[in-house]
C-alpha cells in the first residue's frame, strides 16, 4: 500500500494574520501629528502678520508721522530699532513673540501683553456667550427641522438659518438695539455693565476681568443681573451667526442618520419618529458640529470685531479698531498674532475631542 506524502503549504500560500494596531497607538500618533502641525501654522501666521504690517513702513512713522519734526521722528525710529535691516527686525520679532513679548504700544505706551490680557478676557467672555446662544438655538431647531422634513416648519427654519448666517453682524446688532433697547427699552444699549456695577467690581481683591465671575464675587444679585443683561444683545448678534450654521448641519445629519439600517430596524419595531430623532439620530449628528467648532471660533473672533464696536464691548475687537485708527501697528500686530494663535490652538483642541468621540478620524 503506497502512502502519499502531504506537503505543507508554501510560505507564500500560507494565510497571514493581519497585525492589529491598538486604538491607543492610533490616537496617540494622530494627536502628536496634529500638535506638531501647530508649530508651522503659528509660524506662518505670525510671519504673515509681520510682513503685511511692514508693507506700510515702520510703525513709528505710521503712527507719529506728521506730528513730529524729522529729527524727532528719526530719533524715535532709532530708539525703537526700526532703522535696522528688516530681516534683523523680523528674527527679533519672532524671538519676542515666542517668548511672550509683543512689544509696547505706541499710542498708549502700554505693554501689548497687558492689553491682550486685559481685553482678551472680555472677548473670550463674549465668544463663550455667543457659542452658548449658537448651541441653544441651532441644535434644537435643527432637530425640529429634521423631524418636520420638507414641511412648513422645516421650510421656515431653513429660511431662518440662511438669514442668520447671511445677515452682517453689525446690521443684526443695530436691529437688536433698535428693537430691544430703543423701542421696548428692556435691555441696555451698549457696554459690558453699568457704571455702578463696574464701580462695585473694580475694588474686588481677586478681580479676574471676566465680568460674570467678578459679579458673582460681589455677592450682589443686582450686579450679576446687570452684567448678564448687558451681554444678551451682543451674544445674540454674534451667536445667531453660528446658530444658522449649526441648524443646517444638524438638520442634514439627522436626516441622513434617520435613513441608516439601525434606525430603520428601530422603526420596524414600532419606535415613534420623535423618539428616533431624540434617542438614535441625535448623537451621531453632533459629530460634524464638533469638527466645525474650530472654524466657527475663527468666524466668531472675526465677528467679534464688529460686534464689540457696535455694542461698545471693550474687548480685543473694540481695541483693534481703536489701534487701527491711531495707526498703532505694534498693538495691531500683537492682537492679530494672538487671535491667530487662538484659532490654531482651538482647532487642535477640537481635533482631540473629535478623535475621542469618533475613532474614524484617527486613521
pLDDT at residue 122 in the model: 94
Helix pair 282-311, 316-325: axis angle to 10 deg: 40
pLDDT at residue 203 in the model: 86
Residue where the block lists cell 453632533: 286
3-state SS assignment for residue 104: strand
Say yes or no to pLDDT of 24 above 60: no
Confidence of residue 109 (pLDDT cuts 50, 70, 90): confident
Average pLDDT over residues 281-300: 76
Q: What span, in angstroms and rounded, lies between the C-alpha atoms of 240 and 242?
A: 5
Average pLDDT over residues 72-82: 84
What are the domain boundaries of the chain?
116-357
Q: What span, in angstroms and rounded, lies between the C-alpha atoms of 297 and 242?
A: 9
Confidence of residue 284 (pLDDT cuts 50, 70, 90): confident
Instruction: Return the higher-pLDDT residue of 27 and 207.
Output: 207
Q: What span, in angstroms and rounded, lies between the C-alpha atoms of 315 and 118?
A: 8
Confidence of residue 254 (pLDDT cuts 50, 70, 90): confident
3-state SS assignment for residue 111: strand
Q: Domain 116-357: give its CATH architecture.
A: Orthogonal Bundle (1.10)
Mean pLDDT (the chain) is 84
Please say whether the beta carbons of 239 and 133 come within 8 A. Answer: yes
Longest CA–CA separation in the chain, Å: 118
pLDDT at residue 145 in the model: 92
Q: What span, in angstroms and rounded, lies between the C-alpha atoms of 130 and 143?
A: 20
Confidence of residue 256 (pLDDT cuts 50, 70, 90): confident
Dig out the grid coordinates for 172 from the structure: 443684526
Please say whether the beta carbons of 134 and 356 come within 8 A. Answer: no
Say yes or no to pLDDT of 20 above 60: no
List the beta bridge partners of residue 111. 104
Dig out the grid coordinates for 97 from the structure: 513673540
Distances (CA, A) of 238 to 140, 326, 328, 356: 18, 26, 27, 29
pLDDT at residue 253 in the model: 85
Please say whether the beta carbons of 95 and 207 come within 8 A. Answer: no
Indicate the range of 162-166, 226-230, 346-350 predicted with least confidence.
346-350
* Phi, psi values for residue 3, rounded to 5°: -105, 140
Please say whether the beta carbons of 267 and 316 come within 8 A. Answer: no
Q: How many CB atoms lie within 10 A of CB 99?
A: 8
Q: How many CB atoms lie within 10 A of CB 176?
A: 19
How many whole angstroms from its chain centre is CA 328? 25
Indicate the range of 70-74, 163-167, 180-184 predicted with least confidence.
70-74
Confidence of residue 164 (pLDDT cuts 50, 70, 90): very high
Q: What span, in angstroms and rounded, lies between the C-alpha atoms of 184 and 180?
A: 5
Say yes or no to pLDDT of 26 above 80: no
Amino acid at each position: 500500500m503506497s502512502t502519499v506524502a502531504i506537503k505543507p503549504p508554501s510560505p507564500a500560500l500560507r494565510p497571514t494574520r493581519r497585525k492589529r494596531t491598538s486604538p491607543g497607538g492610533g490616537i496617540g500618533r494622530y494627536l502628536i501629528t496634529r500638535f506638531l502641525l501647530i508649530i508651522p501654522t503659528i509660524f506662518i501666521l505670525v510671519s504673515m502678520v509681520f510682513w503685511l504690517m511692514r508693507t506700510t513702513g515702520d510703525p513709528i512713522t505710521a503712527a507719529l508721522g506728521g506730528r513730529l519734526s524729522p529729527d524727532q521722528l528719526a530719533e524715535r525710529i532709532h530708539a525703537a530699532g526700526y532703522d535696522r535691516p528688516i530681516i534683523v527686525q523680523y528674527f527679533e520679532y519672532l524671538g519676542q513673540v515666542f517668548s511672550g513679548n509683543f512689544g509696547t504700544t505706541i499710542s498708549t505706551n502700554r505693554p501689548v501683553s497687558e492689553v491682550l490680557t486685559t481685553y482678551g478676557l472680555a472677548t473670550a467672555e463674549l465668544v463663550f456667550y455667543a457659542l452658548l446662544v449658537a448651541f441653544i438655538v441651532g441644535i434644537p431647531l435643527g432637530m425640529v427641522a429634521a423631524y418636520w422634513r420638507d414641511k412648513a416648519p422645516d421650510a421656515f427654519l431653513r429660511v431662518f438659518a440662511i438669514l442668520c448666517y447671511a445677515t452682517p453682524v453689525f446690521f443684526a446688532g443695530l436691529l437688536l438695539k433698535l428693537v430691544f433697547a430703543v423701542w421696548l427699552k428692556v435691555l441696555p444699549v451698549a457696554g459690558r455693565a453699568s457704571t455702578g456695577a463696574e464701580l462695585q467690581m473694580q475694588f474686588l481683591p481677586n478681580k479676574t476681568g471676566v465680568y460674570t465671575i467678578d459679579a458673582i464675587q460681589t455677592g450682589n444679585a443686582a450686579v450679576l443681573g446687570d452684567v448678564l443683561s448687558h451681554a444678551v444683545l451682543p451674544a445674540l448678534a454674534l451667536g445667531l451667526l453660528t446658530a444658522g450654521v449649526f441648524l443646517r448641519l444638524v438638520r442634514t445629519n439627522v436626516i441622513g442618520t434617520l435613513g441608516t439600517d439601525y434606525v430603520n430596524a428601530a422603526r420596524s419595531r414600532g419606535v415613534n419618529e420623535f423618539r428616533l430623532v431624540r434617542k438614535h439620530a441625535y448623537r451621531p449628528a453632533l459629530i460634524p458640529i464638533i469638527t466645525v467648532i474650530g472654524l466657527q471660533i475663527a468666524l466668531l473672533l472675526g465677528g467679534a470685531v464688529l460686534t464689540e464696536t457696535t455694542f461698545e464691548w471693550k474687548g480685543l475687537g473694540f481695541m483693534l479698531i481703536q489701534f487701527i485708527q491711531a495707526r498703532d501697528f505694534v498693538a495691531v500686530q500683537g492682537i492679530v498674532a494672538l487671535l491667530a494663535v487662538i484659532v490654531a490652538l482651538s482647532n487642535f483642541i477640537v481635533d482631540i475631542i473629535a478623535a475621542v468621540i469618533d475613532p474614524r478620524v484617527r486613521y
